[in-house]
Chains A and B, each alone.
Chain A
Amino acid sequence: MAEPGNDAVIRVRDLVVGFGGAPVLDRLSLDVLRGEILGFVGASGAGKSVLMRTVIGLVPKSEGLIEVDGVDFGAAPLAARRRIERRWGILFQHGALFSSLTVLQNVQFPIREYLRLSQRLLDEVALAKLEMVGLTADVCHKYPSELSGGMIKRVALARALALDPDIVFLDEPTSGLDPIGAGDFDDLIRTLQRTLGLTVFMVTHDLDSLHTVCDRVAVLADGKVITAGPIPILLASEHPWVKSYFRGKRSRVGGARAAPEPEPNTVSRISDKIMRHQVS
């Protein structure tokens, strides 16, 4: 268990990951604190997914340290790694549901593999998980190919939560959902995080998610975490990428409320007006 006063569930120190050429992640350090929702942003191709996949052990690291609850994940013996893996759940970007299993079987799969439970309890718990993510009993016997994008995400979340993990990794949980669906999904993550006491690591591009559910946001650029903290701190950041991301035209602040740039051209002024109109 973590020492008191140092409540990082995941500690990443000086992580280097590369595929042949220049390293994608270059001496990256990051802490994920217990019980928080950490949003992780960065330009496309900056290595957000690589970091997530490295932390969960899908991509080998070249150098550095990844600690989960004080255990060096890379150096731990297999049994210890399995114990750690058992404590996290992962929601892949496209769901990664097993296409040959029904929804109910998908959720039961990790439970069945790790625990010896009666079929009745398996069914009940899997259905309970599905209901917790907002699905109903009638989807149980459907196959993933029969589900809509939003339902796939929900089932995938139910499967990620199947073993009651402490840590949940979400890879772009709201991508491909309409704004209403994305908002609902954000609420769902927030509610589940509170009820189950989860630590959530969320890779996302959705500015609304960042504003509404994330306790802290970490920004990845040039292979490093350039800044991390609650949204107000990031808004104050002077890093050009962070500035354009959080105060750009599509952001809440830049588009709707913030003062326009010193000399805005006509087009951006018009688009600002349109944005303001839509928001108000």
Chain B
Amino acid sequence: MNGEPLLEAESHGVVGGRLALFAAGTWTAERAGELERLIERVIAGHGRVDGIDIDMQRVERLDTFGAWLLERLFRGLGGGDTRIIGLAERYRALVLQARDVNHTRPAQAHVSSLTAALDLVGRTVVHIGHDIVAVIGMIGALTAALGRAVAHPSTFRFTSMVHQMDRVAWRAVPIILLITFLIGGILAQQGLFHFRQFGADVYVVDMVGILVLREVGVLMVAVMVAGRSGSSYTAEIGSMKMREEIDALRTMGFDPVDVLLLPRVLALIFAVPCLTFLGSMAALYGGGLMCWLYGGMSPEVYMSRMREAIDLLDLAVGLIKAPFMGLIIGAVASVQGLAVQGSAESLGIKTTDAVVKSIFLVILFDGVLAMFYAAIGM
């Protein structure tokens, strides 16, 4: 029953301006590729004719693909008077329906590549501007929400905040400890390897101590938290936006910033300093272990050297930055989550954006603060 489709001109060809054609086989989706070539060949071979007689007695099956290709044949041959002979009755409606379709082409949006490139650059710049404004706006909205929560403590969602703390702080502890421990070890190993060449092994302790407490500890934790919790906030809020849950909250008279965002962001502001402290300790421990195993420095020497190298100020420098980093990550995640549109793709894009943008902003903020600290001699 799956006979090859066939379409050819009858031997007498064109008589009195009318082209006689003979069709057979299956004119269905599976054969549409072959059929299209047959039809194009007939159109190319005959050009426009006044009329067409097509014998379709031997066509076994026909579906919309076949019906459309038949219509395309008619239109390609000039669309004159057509007579279909012997087509099974059940296919008549389909062939008639094919006459009505494809009269208008969908408009194609064609732009030159240069214009498109310039357009993209312009849009991106505008976008960055909007993003910065949105993050600042979000921080403002969060501050206002915090003000309301302080004025009416009963409206604050304390349970939600504790739940979020459990998610972003407590459950993040093992992975943060592991990663910062490894980073501390790697720093010490690299330091030992290079400092040893000019006999300055012992200064490795200074390097590890200062670097970890002031910069690496808080940055690593911020990057981890952005990837782990910022992305999940965006995905969560974004899918709530997609399912109109946020609109539902609004119509019930709740501000989503109060209900959803403030507890989450406060949890992050709390989580990042705690994780930074734990992470820094793990990194110092990792550094010490590496100095002992790889550099042959006894733990006592490492400890006493560390005591000389760092003071409370170094720890403070790192920890002061931490809550702000939590705020940045939370605000960016919230902005991106609320910017999610209807499609699943948009959710993916915004989640990626949240991570990339918060890491970028965190590093930018860290750099600005480093200059500030240097200026005030901290």
**Chain A residues in the interface with B (C-beta under 8 A):** 99-100, 104, 111, 114-118, 121, 123-125, 127-129, 131-132, 136-138, 140-141, 143-146, 161, 163-164, 194-197
A44, B290: Cα distance in complex, Å: 65
A115 lies within 8 A of B29 (CB):
yes
B342 lies within 8 A of A128 (CB):
no
Which of B28, B30, B102, B106 contacts A128 (CB under 8 A)?
A: B102
Which of B28, B32, B101, B345 contacts A117 (CB under 8 A)?
A: B32
B345 lies within 8 A of A100 (CB):
yes
Q: A115-B29, A137-B105 are in contact. Are A145 and B97 (CB under 8 A)?
A: no
A129 lies within 8 A of B64 (CB):
yes
Q: Which residues of A contact B128 (CB under 8 A)?
A: none
B33 lies within 8 A of A116 (CB):
yes
**Chain B residues in the interface with A (C-beta under 8 A):** 28-30, 32-33, 36, 63-65, 68-69, 72, 90, 93-94, 97-98, 100-102, 104-107, 109, 341-346
A27, B341: Cα distance in complex, Å: 44
Q: A111-B29, A117-B33, A143-B343 are in contact. Are A128 and B68 (CB under 8 A)?
A: yes
B104 lies within 8 A of A136 (CB):
yes
B97 lies within 8 A of A132 (CB):
yes
B97 lies within 8 A of A195 (CB):
yes
For B65, the closest partner residue in chain A by CB is A125
Could you tell me the dominant secondary structure of chain B's interface residues?
A: helix
A117, B101: Cα distance in complex, Å: 19
A127 lies within 8 A of B98 (CB):
no
B5 to chain A, nearest CB (A): 14
A-B contacts at CB below 8 angstroms, number: 83
B33 lies within 8 A of A99 (CB):
no
Q: A115-B30, A197-B90 are in contact. Are A132 and B36 (CB under 8 A)?
A: no
A115 lies within 8 A of B98 (CB):
no
B101 lies within 8 A of A128 (CB):
yes
Q: Which residues of B contact A163 (CB under 8 A)?
A: 29
A251 to chain B, nearest CB (A): 32
For A146, the closest partner residue in chain B by CB is B342
Q: Which residues of B contact A141 (CB under 8 A)?
A: 106-107, 109
A29, B344: Cα distance in complex, Å: 38
Q: Which residues of B contact A197 (CB under 8 A)?
A: 90
Q: A118-B36, A124-B102 are in contact. Are A195 and B68 (CB under 8 A)?
A: no
B28 to chain A, nearest CB (A): 7
